[in-house]
Structure 1
Amino acid sequence: MAAPPADAAPQALNWGACDRIHHASPDTQCATVQVPRDYAKPNGPTISVTVSKLPATGARRGTLFGNPGGPGGDGIGMFTALEPADQIRQEWDLVAVQPRGLIGATPVRCDPLSKASGGENGAGALNRERCEKNTPGYTKTLTTETTARDIEQVRRAMGLDKISLYGISYGTWLMGTYATLFPSHTDRLVLDSAMDPRRAWGQMLDDQTAGYRARAHAMMAWIASHDDVYHLGTTPLAVYQRWSRAVEKEAGVPPSLSAPPARVGDVPPGLKAVAQQYLAGVNMTADARARIENLVATLATGGSQASSSLFVLTRAYAPSRDLWPAIALQTAGRSTPPKPSAEELKAATNAQDMQSVIICNEDRSPRDPTLTPAAVLANLVTGDVFDSPGLTYRSGLGCAGAAPVTTPIPLRNKLAVQPLQIQSVGDPQTPYRQSLATHKSMNTHLITVGGGDHGQFGRSNKPLDAAVVEYLRTGHTDVTRTPQAPVTASLTKAPGA
């Protein structure tokens, strides 16, 4: 893929207020940069991408470019939402380039699914066609490599020789790609909750399924440990039973998520003498019972667990303990999810469209057609949001009819400074075992963090923050392990939309 001349003059950037849709702080500045629409035609049409900047509040050491992941994560308000450590805020200009395809970076415009045609060619073809129709020639440019090249254009426009990079989740692939392509312009590289790009996307999404289910059980154990706050039960199973009833009340059907393992405290008084046998029987059949009860109720009533906001949010909030209080409060009937505004729905729809396009543009993982019946069941019958992502793409249904348009750049470490990688042992989104592939390919210095939160930036984890600051300042840290971050969210007040 060709690129504009390296000696291209910096663009004149007009910094001003950011569009409110990005929820950036008042002191965040935004500007737009023109970049080639297609880097294979560097002198062809251009698109505009928004770049945000939070200027260092003290003596500036450098510029740190960030990406929050996704794909589809809004970058403009990233450093507002994540609240970086004070030293980082003071010593680095914090910059984010909005990924192309999102609002603020020439958004991809897709017809609503209800108005789309072409489904007979496959779900992937349908999705690509409904977006390509309105932005012809643009959808094929939505790739990780192209977005990395956009970051390079912004670096040039800002007149910077070297930049440091901080990527979270999918952002680790994006920033790793930039560092591989432009090592001479990369200073420090921090990979937070790294994914293995070689498993993108079907294998990676399939990898997540077991982790999300386990993480939901961990959430229920946490809620049980705070029974003095939520009064939902003192065992994970007791909490699950209250949660299950709340899901059924919303959806009309019970959830298919299996119950967490029963404990001695869950044994009925009359069965204490055979407690171990009781527990073995209950735990052995938990998954099958949940799935069968959900399927029977779904077929009988026509309801869907996916219509329960509590069920959907349980999966969405599972990776971050700071969001677990919201699930506890909703289960207890003490809060309801805030209704998103029309503006927020527009942004969420755009992000989903962009993500779907880029996944199929790059999905080169092996497909397993034997999973097709299970994928159809999870998507079209039971509405199982825990199982459906992995089954949809691993089976091949998600990108059927839409062949990949690019071969991703293999990540390589050509940097003068060793990259830093931060990985949590129980992270359901970027499982620890798979992340070790990036540790090997990029020769990173690895910090293992306790717990299972996804994304470690801005969690008030003082030992970890100190290690990251040390690395950014010196290019080195001896820290290899830290405990998990504290829960900083209110236990009695649910977060906003």
Structure 2
Amino acid sequence: MRVKRMRRVALGTVVAAGAGLLAGTATASAEPVQAGQPGLDRFYHQRVGWKACGDKDLDAAGARCADVTVPLDYARPDGRTITVAISRLKATDTRNRRGVMLSNPGGPGGAGLGMMLDVRKAMTPEVSSRYDLIGMDPRGIGRSSPVDCGWPVGIMLRSAGIDRAGFDRTVRLQADLARRCAVTEGPDIRQITTRNTARDMDVVRGALGERKISYFGWSYGTYLGAVYTQMFPRQSDRVVLDSAVDPRRYGVGLFQAMGKPNEAALDDWANWAAARDAEYHLGRTGAEVRALVEDLIRGAAKSPIRIGDYRVDEHLLPMLAFNPLADPRHNAALATSVRRLADAADGKPVQPNPELEADLRFVTRPTPETQNSGQAAVLCGDVAAPRDPEWYWRNIQRNRAALPVFGGFAYGPSACASWAPPVEPPTEVRNAVPALIVQATGDTRTAYEEGVALHKAMTASRLVTLQDVRVHAVFGNYPNGCVENTVNTYFRDGVLPRADTTCREN
């Protein structure tokens, strides 16, 4: 999931997913293919040709870009190759240069070439000047041999609806999305995985002539970073994992974990909107505002809401709330969106506000630049999902009362239910690689418990808790002096805090 707008792919995981239901599945903890083994030396020792990025912001910042060649299938290094696009903002303090810092913005499916332009704004000059800051479009994404399944929708994330008819429509849609990927991309799509992306990162390390890499990741990027530390512990330097995924739940379990915090976030927002009823007219109490949202969803199931050129049904409407709930700074935009949807449901001729328009366009009208079938390739290629539709239906029904708005999303099927089996088992993360884990207690994409679980799995890590803040992705996204000081100190000195740390709102 990217972090700032859903159209940029905000899963946490838009999003991400994991499964206790996969207990007993074999796990991979050792790296079977790495530098020095036959066939890989040419990738690790390739010459990197830097060039202009062809991106306004990156070029203006003085970044340079390159394409790094990697095997499509690391088990067959003499077979087909693909390229992975990277960007570099060079260290300016060459005397105290620390090395390279790779990054990932989340998703999965987030293009990361320009990510460090945002992140470095939260860095002190001491930190940003000592690292080559490396952005990267992971394999299958952006400029890195992108997956494009030719979907009729922009993203697979949907609510399964409020009744059996809506659920059955969702099952058919998700099966069709998986079928399109199998037909359009063929067997190569099964190599678009987190483990292969971690291997790509290590090839980048070697191609850049570095012994180790430092790393910063948001959301799904924390899972990628954790997998890298497990596969390449001796090549891992200073690692910061912000808004973390529990690797044991990566798969459908992570989606399930989103249900409760999103319902809580909806209540928090509803109370905010109720305090401003004179402006938005959504209800005088939080309960009234929530009731309005639930009524809109039920009404959209009977007759989709027509707003501008769009039709919003019960599958889309919860997702239009899911995105802004990840950050309290989007409260006003969400209130405006709900007000306009309510007016449209009443038959008034209204147009969507800019934020709602952007999200609707992303979800319903994919372009080669915005389509997000690469997210499915990674999620479904990493961990097998249950295939029986009835398993999902039973879970939705069991949780419908507690999760009236987001239960159909959290427990519903995705394209992964119809995907080919993964080419290798998922990674069991359990190591003593030092890392700093940052987690907000109100995170709606990767629940706070996810970060706590990763902290336990990475036994030499420290946890930085941002207390009582509803936000997904902190450092470089949500200003907080305590978090910024802790992260910058670690990147500067390489020394973790002596104990876990709690930060509060500025």
Give the TM-score normalised by the residue count of structure 2: 0.73
Counterparts of 1:55-94 in structure 2, within 5 Å, are: 55-58=90-93, 60-82=97-119, 84-87=121-124, 88-94=127-133
**Residues 122 and 397, structure 1, Cα contact 8 Å, conserved in 2:** no
Give the C-alpha shift of residue 96 in structure 1: 2.1
The AA in structure 1 aligned to 2:210 is L
Within the candidate set 458, 464, 473, 1:447 is matched to 464
Q: Confirm whether residue 42 of structure 1 aligns to residue 77 of structure 2.
A: yes
Q: Deviations over 1:438-458 (max 9, x none)?
A: 111111211111123111121
The alpha-carbon distance between structure 1 residues 188 and 220, as it changes in their structure 2 partners (threshold 3 A), is same
User: What are structure 2's unaligned runs of at least 5 residues?
Assistant: 1-31, 154-168, 306-310, 341-351, 398-403
Match of 2:162 in 1: none
Matches within 5 A, 1:250-399: 254-256=295-297, 294=298, 297-298=299-300, 300-301=302-303, 305-306=312-313, 312-331=319-338, 335-337=353-355, 339-340=357-358, 345-346=366-367, 349-351=370-372, 353-364=373-384, 370-373=390-393, 386-393=406-413, 398-399=416-417
- The 1:30–1:125 alpha-carbon spacing in structure 2 relative to 1, beyond 3 Å, is same
Relative to structure 1, the CA distance from residue 128 to residue 371 in structure 2 (aligned partners, 3 Å threshold; closer, same or farther) is closer
- Aligned-partner Cα distance in 1 for 2:182–2:432: 36
Q: CA RMSD in A?
A: 3.6
Give the match's secondary structure for 1:131.
helix
In the aligned structure 1, how far is the partner of 2:423 from the partner of 2:370? 23
Residue pair 1:470, 1:477 contacting (<8 A) in 2 also:
no
Equivalent residue, structure 1, for 2:60 = 26
Q: Alpha carbons of 1:239 and 1:390: their partners in 2 closer, same or farther (altered >3 Å)?
A: closer
CA contact (8 A) 1:191 1:419 kept: yes
> Within 2, Cα distance between the matches of 1:124 and 1:201?
16
Deviation at 1:433, TM superposition (A): 2.1
* Correspondence for 1:456: 474
Residue number among 26, 36, 45 corresponding to 1:5 in the alignment: 36
Question: Counterpart in 1 of 2:86?
Answer: 51
Over 3 Å counting, the alpha-carbon distance change for 1:150 and 1:320 in structure 2 is same
Structure 1 pair 397–357 and aligned structure 2 pair: CA distance change class (3 A): closer
Alpha-carbon displacement from aligned partner over 1:88-118 (angstroms, at most 9, x marks no partner) = 433322212211111200011313359xxxx
Residues 112 and 197 of structure 1, relative CA distance in 2, 3 Å threshold: same
Aligned counterparts of 1:57 and 1:222: Cα–Cα separation in 2:
45
In structure 2, give the amino acid aligned to 1:435.
G
Measured after TM superposition, the shift of residue 387 of structure 1 is: 3.0
Aligned to 2:136: 97
Identical positions, percent: 31
Distance 1:471 1:399, change over 3 A: same
Matched ranges for 1:90-489 at <5 A = 90-113=129-152, 126-225=176-275, 235-237=285-287, 239-240=289-290, 244=293, 254-256=295-297, 294=298, 297-298=299-300, 300-301=302-303, 305-306=312-313, 312-331=319-338, 335-337=353-355, 339-340=357-358, 345-346=366-367, 349-351=370-372, 353-364=373-384, 370-373=390-393, 386-393=406-413, 398-400=416-418, 402-415=420-433, 418-443=434-459, 444-450=461-467, 451-458=469-476, 459-474=478-493, 475-478=495-498, 480-485=500-505
Q: Measure, in 1, the Cα distance between the counterparts of 2:479 and 2:379.
A: 32
For the structure 1 residues 55 and 237, does the alpha-carbon distance in structure 2 shift closer, same or farther, using more than 3 Å as the test? farther
- The structural deviation recorded for 1:369 is 5.3
Are the aligned partners of 2:84 and 2:144 in contact in 1 as well (CA < 8 Å)? yes
Report the Cα distance in structure 2 between the residues aligned to 1:430 and 1:174, rounded to whole angstroms: 14
Cα contact 1:208–1:429 (8 A) shared by 2? yes
Task: Give the Å deviation of 1:134.
Answer: 3.3
Q: Highest CA radius of gyration, 1 or 2?
A: 1
- Residues 122-152 of structure 1 show CA distances to partners (whole Å, capped at 9, x for unaligned) of 7766444422433333111011100100111
The count of corresponding residues between Structure 1 and Structure 2 is 422
| Shift, 1:47, TM fit | 0.3
Question: 1:456 & 1:338 partners in 2: Cα distance?
Answer: 24
Unaligned runs of 5+ in 1: 248-253, 257-293, 378-383, 487-497
Inter-partner Cα distance in structure 2 for 1:194 and 1:211: 15
Do the aligned partners of 1:165 and 1:190 also contact (CA within 8 Å) in 2?
yes
80-89 or 354-363, which deviates more: 80-89
Amino acid at match of 2:453: A
For residue 26 of structure 1, what is the amino acid of its counterpart? A
Equivalent pair of 2:282/2:339 in contact (CA under 8 Å): yes
Is 61-70 or 326-335 further displaced after alignment? Answer: 326-335
Question: Do the aligned partners of 1:467 and 1:479 also contact (CA within 8 Å) in 2?
Answer: no
Identify the range of structure 1 (193-202 vs 6-15) with the bigger mean alpha-carbon deviation: 6-15
CA distance in 2, matches of 1:357, 1:221: 38
Asked whether the equivalents of residues 441 and 448 of structure 2 are also in contact (C-alpha less than 8 Å), the reply is yes
Is the CA contact 1:429–1:454 (under 8 Å) kept in the aligned structure 2?
Answer: yes
Is residue 220–residue 245 contact of structure 2 (8 Å, CA) maintained in 1? Answer: yes
The 1-side partners of 2:498 and 2:53 are apart by: 38
Check 1:233–1:96 CA distance in 2 against 1; reply closer, same or farther (3 A cut): same
Which residue number in structure 2 is paired with residue 494 of structure 1? none
